[in-house]
Amino acid sequence: MLLKHISNKLNTLSEMKTLPGYWYGKPYYSLDAYCKTTYHEKLYKIALDAGLTCPNRDGRIGSRGCIFCSAGGSGDFAVALSTAAATDISKQLQQGIQLFHEKKTGEHFIAYFQAYTNTYGPVSYLEQIYAQALNTPEVAGISIATRPDCLDAPVLSLLSKLQHQYPDKFIWVELGLQSIHEKTARYIRRGYPLPVFEDALSALHDLSIPVIVHLILGLPNENREMILQSVSYLNSLPVWGVKLQLLHVLKGTDLAVEYSKHTFDVFTIEEYIPLLAECICSLRPDIVIHRLTGDGPRDLLIAPLWSLQKRNVLNQFHKYMKETNSYQGKKIICQNHR
Ligand code: SF4
């Protein structure tokens, strides 16, 4: 059934690409394109820190975290409040909204529960923080970053309940998979095997909760083929969105220690752009791309420093896609039409 659905999508892609405004002029299905099509406006993300921790840090699974994870639990862009109310979600949202309004942009927002593992806590507390966001009029919906091994029955039941309570708002879940390769998973200390991800994805799909999967491009000991295998693997699953994250080496991480010993290299921009283009061409065209490179926090980033020039990276990527007549799903479509 799923394969038929995918095949139908692929068959119509060539026609759709010729429609004016499809993907809003970009050669891939961006989150912006999805929001403009669905909500008729751009939605802006406000990154939040709900004061949670992670089982890979508090000792339940591990105490040193994933090898690349910063002290901020991969939530270094969360709104910073310096008061006792630092984890007050409503206050963080109001502060984030205020910042956008000062720039005279943004009417509606995605409340992004980013820092640490955002389903790892008492269900009553989770309900409280999600509801605070969903009750905020400017918030169009919430996106919850978590681990697939932190989605037990009570949490799933809460998400299902909130979906029914807030039918006009969306609830997305983001799963940090990073790679499908078990050797890599052990190296980065991810702390769960691939079947755990598949079970979580399936459970969320059964609840009609859209899932965004995070992959890291450039992990140590992964070559081009391995990266493309991770991308292609997503095509066979009910994945709604993807975040492609260039590997960043951040200060204070164990990855930084490895990097200082020269045990691996990071991508140059000349290596990254063609690889990223190949990933996009290998990805099912209905999967929404939420991220193409990611931002490394300027004060924490050790390498690759070229990634700080985000506009330049995106410009070079778009130029490359144009010059090579590349677009999302191209590789699959070409295979299907052989
Ligand atoms: S699961 Fe997320 S928060 Fe936890 S250690 Fe890994 S990257 Fe950091």
Q: Which two tokens stand for residue 39?
A: 């909500």
What's the pLDDT score for residue 22? 73
Question: Ligand 1 within 6 A of 69 CB?
Answer: yes
Q: How far is the CA of 219 from the centre of ligand 1 (A)?
A: 15
CA gap 240, 289 in Å, rounded: 9
What's the pLDDT score for residue 18? 44
* pLDDT per position as a tens digit, 220-272: 999 999 999 999 999 999 999 999 999 999 999 999 999 999 999 999 999 99
Question: Ligand 1 within 6 A of 329 CB?
Answer: no
What's the pLDDT score for residue 70? 87
Residue of the nearest CA to atom 3 in ligand 1?
116
What's the pLDDT score for residue 82? 47
* pLDDT per position as a tens digit, 108-119: 999 999 999 999
Q: What is the pTM of this model?
A: 0.93
Residue of the nearest CA to atom 7 in ligand 1?
69
Computed from CA positions of residues 240, 153, 185, 144, in that sequence, does the dihedral angle turn out positive or negative? positive
Q: Which domains does the chain have, with CATH numbers?
A: 2-336 (3.20.20)
What's the pLDDT score for residue 174? 98
What's the pLDDT score for residue 2? 42
φ/ψ of 214, rounded to 5, equals -95, 130
CA gap 236, 316 in Å, rounded: 30
CA gap 177, 217 in Å, rounded: 12
Report angle CA 41, 214, 173 to the nearest 5 degrees. Answer: 60
* Ligand 1, pocket-test mutation among 63, 117, 197, most atoms within 8 A of CB: 117
Amino acid at position 262, single letter: H
Where are the alpha helices (H) located in the chain, listed in sequence order?
2-17, 31-39, 89-102, 123-134, 153-165, 182-187, 194-206, 224-235, 254-260, 269-282, 310-323, 330-336
What's the pLDDT score for residue 338? 65
Residue of the nearest CA to atom 2 in ligand 1?
116
Q: How far is the CA of 34 from the centre of ligand 1 (A)?
A: 27
Question: Ligand 1 within 6 A of 74 CB?
Answer: yes
Question: Ligand 1 within 6 A of 170 CB?
Answer: no
Q: How far is the CA of 289 from the centre of ligand 1 (A)?
A: 21
Per-position pLDDT tens, the chain of length 338 = 444 444 455 555 544 554 545 788 899 999 999 999 999 999 999 999 999 999 999 999 999 999 999 877 666 666 655 444 567 999 999 999 999 999 988 899 999 999 999 999 999 999 999 999 999 999 999 999 999 999 999 999 999 999 999 999 999 999 999 999 999 999 999 999 999 999 999 999 999 999 999 999 999 999 999 999 999 999 999 999 999 999 999 999 999 999 999 999 999 999 999 999 999 999 999 999 999 988 788 999 999 999 999 999 999 999 999 999 999 999 997 777 66
Q: How far is the CA of 114 from the centre of ligand 1 (A)?
A: 10
Question: Ligand 1 within 6 A of 106 CB?
Answer: no
State the closest ligand 1 atom to the C-alpha of 57, by its place in the atom list counted from 1: 5
Question: Ligand 1 within 6 A of 113 CB?
Answer: no
What's the pLDDT score for residue 294? 82
Question: Ligand 1 within 6 A of 218 CB?
Answer: no
* pLDDT per position as a tens digit, 122-145: 999 999 999 999 999 999 999 999
State the closest ligand 1 atom to the C-alpha of 70, by its place in the atom list counted from 1: 8
State the closest ligand 1 atom to the C-alpha of 117, by its place in the atom list counted from 1: 3
State the closest ligand 1 atom to the C-alpha of 147, by its place in the atom list counted from 1: 1
Q: How far is the CA of 19 from the centre of ligand 1 (A)?
A: 41
